[in-house]
Structure 1
Amino acid sequence: MTQTTRRRFLTGGGAAVAGASALAAPSVVRAQSTMTIKMQTAWPAANIWQEFAQQYADRVSAMSGGRLTIDLLPAGAVVQAFQLQDAVADGVLDAGHHVTAYWYGKNKAASLFGTGPVFGTDAAQMLAWIHNGGGKELYRELVEDILGLDIVGFFAFPMPTQPLGWFNQEITSIDQMQGLKYRTVGLASDVMQGVGLSVAQLPGGEIVPALERGVIDAFEFNNPSSDRDFGAQDVSKHYMMGSYHQAAEFFEIIFNKSMFDDMPDDFKAILEYAAEAVNTSNYGLAMDRYSADLARLRDEDGVNVYRTPTSVMERQLASWDTVLEDLTQDEYFDRVVQSQKEWSERCGYYNLLNQADYKLAYEHYFPGKLGF
């Protein structure tokens, strides 16, 4: 797992340069210490999200001058995707790259840190809530105090809105969705059940095989690139864009806390701030690839791409209201929701009042392109 063990870090491991003075020795030791972290993701090796995780690993290595490196493994290399948090907490793995919805079964409040309700703010604004609105403190309380996990985590990449997903026909009414067996995860499961679907929670790599076997009738994962990687276009030709089920998600990058606490301070800082740095590179790659792959799905793969009707999204909001009414009976869950609401009321007001009408500008330069 490591080239320099945790015990050796604590006892001066990593030999000092010969001839260094006693006074200079501690800094020289720190500069020469090396460590390799074994991190597994929840993503298949060929998926674009594995590339996002690799961008994080690359930045950790570059920021440390190669002294701190990440051995990055895909889903299933050590444990299955939904087992990732337990493996990190138990020290089977040093680190993981996934989303909080994947451990929502332990506490439904987990989903509030990535697949929660939409109060008028997008993923970038909700990641700002994590950093500046009390979110990271509430997350620490859930992971450490409520669940008692040996985990420390950071968040990265405000994801674009996730499509409603793939269906066997264009969805023009909520009535067409009644009774469909549909894949999603986290609180989105509760929300979509509330609009009449039967929900199966599956990791990404199991989606298309489940669709081919008839285990599910429809699904969402996250974005055009991942969906195309999975081969969604080979089993469906109807892709609905826009939804409230998961409209403000980000990656959760977790570490075994005992290991993390034993690290030198500069290594801790690198792991934390590399998560902030990778926001930019992840988002840039996403905009490039997501847009290009959506065009390929439409133009090369014969996929019909539609905008989800407003009536369907209004029904989703009503379902969110019902889900929240039940879950906010829990004191902690309610505190997180109220914190998010207060943040969204203030930041959403600023953003929605101030932002340019981008759709108007797009239609000015590309008339008739959108089709909705």
Structure 2
Amino acid sequence: MTDRQDSPTTTASDPAAPETSAPQRRRFLRSATLGAAGAAAAGLLAACSKEPEPAPEKMGKTSEAPAAPAAAVKPSTVVFKIQGSWGAKDIFNEMAEEFVKRVNEMADGRLRVDYLVAGAVVKPFEVMDAVSKGVLDGGHTVPVYWYGKSKVASLFGSGPITGCDANQTLAWIYRGGGQKLYEELLAKLQLDVVGFFAMPMPTQPLGWFKSPIKGAGELQGLKYRTVGLAADLFQEMGAKVTQLPGGEIIPALEKGVIDGFEYNNPTSDMRFGAQDVIKNYMLGSFHQAMEFFEIIFNKKKYQALPKDLQAILRYGV
């Protein structure tokens, strides 16, 4: 049996093995690390300096700003100029202005009614004609102020004694066919007007006199102011009647044009100073048992309004 001879091995102590010291290994690792870092930095710089590619556009579409929402168009305001038949101090102006306020609030800016006192455009007795001709868009008046055109106008205020007060007469106008007769009268007189009635008034006093009236005989030769059918009545009783609007009564009394007058009610009479120039106020009378306001509009201008605004004017009374 022969002995096996092992292959020679190399150990660290073998003088034939290459010798590598620790400082050399560290220098090698540091050089390798720096080289890798430099390569990475160079790649990063190259990427940063490269121009970004534009995003691809979608076929058939262009980039546009979104359209702004359409602004709401506010409807224009229709303005109606109406004039009353009442002097500047008369309480009836306040009632007319209440009507105007109601209409303007309901119309919400689409219709505006502007109110003018008597004389601003025409005289009190001229309101009906001015509205019919389109000089005014509307009026706040009474039929007795255009009674001279037709005595039939007295049926719609300050008329004959029928046994009805103002409330009952309004019921006849709106529920008993009176409105239709009124419209027929306007058409017959060729008045281009649409009219409505409102605010029933109580029976009016006989009026103010320099001396108390104790009997019908004392009306003979009396210079007296009244209007409408009452003017015909007092003339038949011997009075010398002058028909005047409210604002002209006191000046006429002071100048001696009249000796006595009736107008409408204690409040209106006091507003223009009746109690300061004459002291005898006679209350009981039947010459004007019922009356109410007549609110009128030019027919063409009224019918040109939308139906809802027409209704506001009609039912605003």
Q: Same fold (TM over 0.5)?
A: yes
Show CA shifts across 1:22-77 (max 9, x none). xxxxxx98x83421110010111221010010010011011222332211000000
Q: CA deviation at 1:94?
A: 0.3
SS at match of 1:157: strand
Conservation of the 8 A alpha-carbon contact between 2:250 and 2:273: yes
What is residue 103 of structure 1 aligned with on the other side?
146
Distance 2:186 2:289 in 1: 23
Distance 1:234 1:173 in 2: 25
Opposite residue 90 of structure 2, the aligned amino acid is N
Q: 1:222 aligns with which of 264, 267, 270?
A: 264
Q: What is the CA RMSD across the aligned residues, in angstroms?
A: 1.5
Structure 1 outlier segments of 4+, above 6 Å? none
Q: CA deviation at 1:19?
A: 4.3
Distance 2:109 2:219 in 1: 51
Conservation of the 8 A alpha-carbon contact between 1:117 and 1:244: no
What is residue 98 of structure 2 aligned with on the other side?
55
Show CA shifts across 1:273-325 (max 9, x none). 011xxxxxxxxxxxxxxxxxxxxxxxxxxxxxxxxxxxxxxxxxxxxxxxxxx
Opposite residue 172 of structure 2, the aligned amino acid is W
How do residues 121-132 of structure 1 correspond to structure 2 at under 5 angstroms?
Answer: 121-132=164-175
Opposite residue 192 of structure 1, the aligned amino acid is F
Distance 2:99 2:284 in 1: 28
What is residue 68 of structure 1 aligned with on the other side?
111
Q: CA deviation at 1:196?
A: 2.1
Distance 1:205 1:112 in 2: 25
Distance 2:109 2:207 in 1: 41
Conservation of the 8 A alpha-carbon contact between 2:154 and 2:160: no
Task: State the identity %.
Answer: 59
Distance 2:251 2:278 in 1: 13
Opposite residue 37 of structure 1, the aligned amino acid is F
How do residues 1-372 of structure 1 correspond to structure 2 at under 5 angstroms?
Answer: 19=70, 32-144=75-187, 146-275=188-317
Distance 2:279 2:123 in 1: 29
Q: CA deviation at 1:242?
A: 2.4
Structure 1: segments with no counterpart, 5+ residues: 1-17, 21-27, 276-372
SS at match of 1:32: coil
Distance 2:194 2:267 in 1: 29
Opposite residue 297 of structure 2, the aligned amino acid is F
Equivalenced residue count is: 249
More helix as a share of residues: 1
Q: CA deviation at 1:125?
A: 0.3
Opposite residue 150 of structure 2, the aligned amino acid is N
Q: CA deviation at 1:194?
A: 2.0
**Structure ID, larger Rg:** 2
Show CA shifts across 1:245-269 (max 9, x none). 1111111111000000100001100
Distance 1:106 1:119 in 2: 22
Distance 1:222 1:148 in 2: 29
Opposite residue 255 of structure 1, the aligned amino acid is F
